[in-house]
Amino acid sequence: MSKSLLPFFLVIFCLSTVFSQNTPDAVKRKIAPDVQSALKQENKVNILVIFREQADLHNANQIHGKAAKARFVFDRLQQTAATSQANALRIARASNAYVNSFYLVNALAIRHANAGLVENLAQLPEVARIAADPEIPFEQPDVSLAPVAQRGAVEWGIEKINAPAVWALGYTGQGITVAGADTGYDWVHPAIQPHYRGYNKSDGSTNHNYNWHDAIHEISPLSNDSIPDPSNNPCGVNSVVPCDDNNHGTHTMGTMVGDDGNGNQIGVAPGADWIACRNMERGNGAPSSYIECFEWFLAPTDLNGENPDVLKAPHVINNSWYCSVSEGCTDLSVNELMHTAVNNLRASGVVVVVSNGNKGGLGCNATNDPPAYFEESFSVGATESNDTITGFSTRGSVQIDGSGRMKPNVVAPGAGIRSSIRNGGYAHFWGTSMAGPHVAGVVALVISARPDLAGEVDLIEDIIEQTAVPGYDTVNCGNVSGMAHPNNTYGYGRVDALGAVMKALMLTPVTSPGASPVDVTVWPNPVLDEAIFSIKNYTGKFTVQLFNAAGQLVYSVNRETANPDAVFQIPMQNQAPGVYFWKITTAGPLRSGKFVKR
């Protein structure tokens, strides 16, 4: 073929590709069946417009320092959204529709879109899919609202995970910000008000900018009001002060940080500050409200939703909610949108803790609701006071995506947990919703003991998993024995705050943001006879250590390389099948990870 004809054929090929995306059938396939069905039944529908282009964040894990990670991720996400959303925003705004633009996941949430708008958006080649944004009811935990004495004692769950022993070492979560996305928060409750980041304890002044966001902009039809008026909700909509319309959120925050100074020690990390976002209206949420809170946590804004600041982002987010498949989250493209949100938050240096769900009655392989089933979510099951699993705690494995992934990651106290509720009260709740906040509190304690771990999400999660107290079960789930460690009932076990903090204190300091990144890759995974390590961007001496799932050192070797792109092997033929954790200590940064021996 003549070289002079190549540009011509390339142009024709590119044009044909674009046009093939915009044939009537191709356009229709972009529109989710439930959106098409809803438009046939009513004039308007709430939709999510998902764009093809997604930001490339793979280099984020080579950046150290939480602020540097967050700035890199924020800038990349904003650039991607700005270049791909322009046409869709112009069309949507011309129709006078309510539009919420998300950069965290490169999508638009549009309220009350008509058929013409949906079709016009679907014709854009940059649009990958138009999905429904359904209202979703929240499964409430079991609750005991009987009067609870104002007792002066550390709660059993706090004692069980050894948090007081960490406090005795001087680590209470000081300097750390935890966050919650939930039904809202009664910020003036005496157990949590002193710990609210927007509250100045010295003079009693408040500043809710960058500390609170309300993602509820209208009344949910699932609230079944005869007239959907904001006055029906005790918090209204678009609240400019933290408010809880349900009790659930206030209860979870109490478990993270609660301490009224008068003996009510209900929180794991009472020295930490908290910020929050309401993502449910009287227990009813939607994918768009969940994503809006996730995005706000990446770079909190002022009360006008302006001037985002990644330096105000939390270190850990508790998510005691899920978007149930049985209740509306049936479109896997929407699930993947939330998956992207979790991935991008983690890339920015934020630990995402998620309750694993209360579907223990379904037996094995029941962890199938987002965001609990995502690999990147740190999912938490619930235990009784004797360290046995609760009957309601959802078991793995994950089947919805065909992965067979093990879940939960860990377990924590979740039965009869006494914590704060609205109007200054206290109550006992049961659920994995109560277990997750214990783990978020442990994250705060670990980082307060080792501030250089801030932003090192994988390492923090590994520490908590490696130091958890193993749990065993007679039930085998997901082709994994209940007597194996980890397993699909307890994960790696019940969290141990003291063990996690002590392990963190023994780690080599994490590299500073300005240091050259050391990149370590391990393959294959799972391994058979040997694990092959590739270490790049480093020359000099280093130590390789391998630990089994019980935390026992099973292999250690000192090595030295003059090659900045070195490869070496660790023999595994004499090691038992299971999960192994590796740690490479260099003169500068520490690297760690895990793999499976088959």
240-262 pLDDT, tens digit per residue, is: 999 999 999 999 999 999 999 98
| Letter string b/e over residues 64-78, b meaning 16 or more CB atoms within 10 A of that residue's CB | bbbbbbbbbbbebbe
Q: Measuring CA to CA, how many Å separate 408 from each of 96, 111, 337, 347, 489?
A: 44, 35, 21, 21, 7
Predicted local distance difference test score (pLDDT) of residue 440: 99
Bridge partners for 281 per DSSP: 284
Q: Are residues 282 and 393 in the same domain?
A: yes
Establish if 84 belongs to a structural domain: yes
| Residue 244 · residue 185 · CB < 8 Å | yes
Establish if 485 belongs to a structural domain: yes
Q: Are residues 127 and 161 in the same domain?
A: no
Establish if 14 belongs to a structural domain: no
* Torsion sign across C-alpha atoms 591, 309, 338, 239: positive
Domain that holds residue 550: 519-597
Beta strands in 348-416 (DSSP E): 351-355, 378-383, 410-413
Distance CA 254, CA 193 (A): 10
Predicted local distance difference test score (pLDDT) of residue 222: 85
* Torsion sign across C-alpha atoms 480, 483, 489, 494: negative
308-345 pLDDT, tens digit per residue, is: 999 999 999 999 998 876 556 778 889 999 999 999 99
Cα end-to-end span (Å), the chain: 51
Q: Residues near 473 by Cβ (< 8 Å), separated by ≥ 6?
A: 389, 482, 483, 487, 489, 490
Q: Which among 103, 133, 163 is the end of a domain?
A: 133
Q: How many domains does the chain have?
A: 3
Distance CA 2, CA 14 (A): 19
Distance CA 49, CA 110 (A): 8
Establish if 3 belongs to a structural domain: no
| Letter string b/e over residues 413-433, b meaning 16 or more CB atoms within 10 A of that residue's CB | bbbbbbbbbbeebbbbbbbbb
Q: Are residues 239 and 340 in the same domain?
A: yes
Q: Are residues 125 and 150 in the same domain?
A: no
| Residue 340 · residue 306 · CB < 8 Å | no
Predicted local distance difference test score (pLDDT) of residue 370: 95
CATH number of the domain that 105 lies in?
Answer: 3.30.70
Catalytic positions, please? Answer: 182, 248, 433
Q: Are residues 248 and 221 in the same domain?
A: yes
Q: Are residues 481 and 591 in the same domain?
A: no
Give the type of residue at 556.
Answer: S
Establish if 28 belongs to a structural domain: yes
Spatial CA neighbour of 370 closest among 385, 360, 359, 355:
355
Q: Are residues 81 and 110 in the same domain?
A: yes
* Torsion sign across C-alpha atoms 427, 428, 432, 438: positive
User: What are the phi and psi torsion angles at 90 (to 5°)?
Assistant: -60, -45
| Residue 558 · residue 541 · CB < 8 Å | yes
Q: Are residues 215 and 270 in the same domain?
A: yes
Q: Measuring CA to CA, how many Å separate 535 from each of 155, 452, 490, 517, 530?
A: 46, 22, 33, 11, 16
Q: Are residues 345 and 451 in the same domain?
A: yes
Q: Are residues 112 and 149 in the same domain?
A: no
Structure tokens at 509: 């300091």
| Residue 135 · residue 425 · CB < 8 Å | no
CATH number of the domain that 528 lies in?
Answer: 2.60.40.3080
Predicted local distance difference test score (pLDDT) of residue 140: 61
Establish if 6 belongs to a structural domain: no
The two beta strands, 127-132 and 44-51, are: antiparallel
Establish if 514 belongs to a structural domain: no
Burial class (CB in 10 A: 0-12, 13-18, 19+), 114: middle
Establish if 312 belongs to a structural domain: yes
Q: Which among 100, 133, 166 is the end of a domain?
A: 133
CATH number of the domain that 224 lies in?
Answer: 3.40.50.200
Q: Which among 506, 531, 563 is the end of a domain?
A: 506
Helix (H, G, I), strand (E, B) or coil at 252: helix
Q: Are residues 329 and 460 in the same domain?
A: yes
Q: Are residues 157 and 232 in the same domain?
A: yes
Structure tokens at 392: 């309601």
User: What are the phi and psi torsion angles at 11 (to 5°)?
Assistant: -65, -45
Spatial CA neighbour of 407 closest among 308, 480, 491:
491
- Pick out the chain residues at pLDDT < 70: 1-22, 137-152, 325-328, 510-517, 549-551, 587-590
Spatial CA neighbour of 181 closest among 377, 365, 470, 7:
377
Q: Residues near 510 by Cβ (< 8 Å), separated by ≥ 6?
A: 64, 452, 453, 456, 459, 589, 590
* Torsion sign across C-alpha atoms 483, 487, 490, 491: positive
Burial class (CB in 10 A: 0-12, 13-18, 19+), 94: exposed
Looking at residue 388, the DSSP 8-state letter turns out to be P
Spatial CA neighbour of 492 closest among 594, 414, 592:
594
Q: In what order do the strands lie in the sheet with 578-586?
A: 553-561, 540-547, 578-586, 590-597
| Residue 276 · residue 195 · CB < 8 Å | no
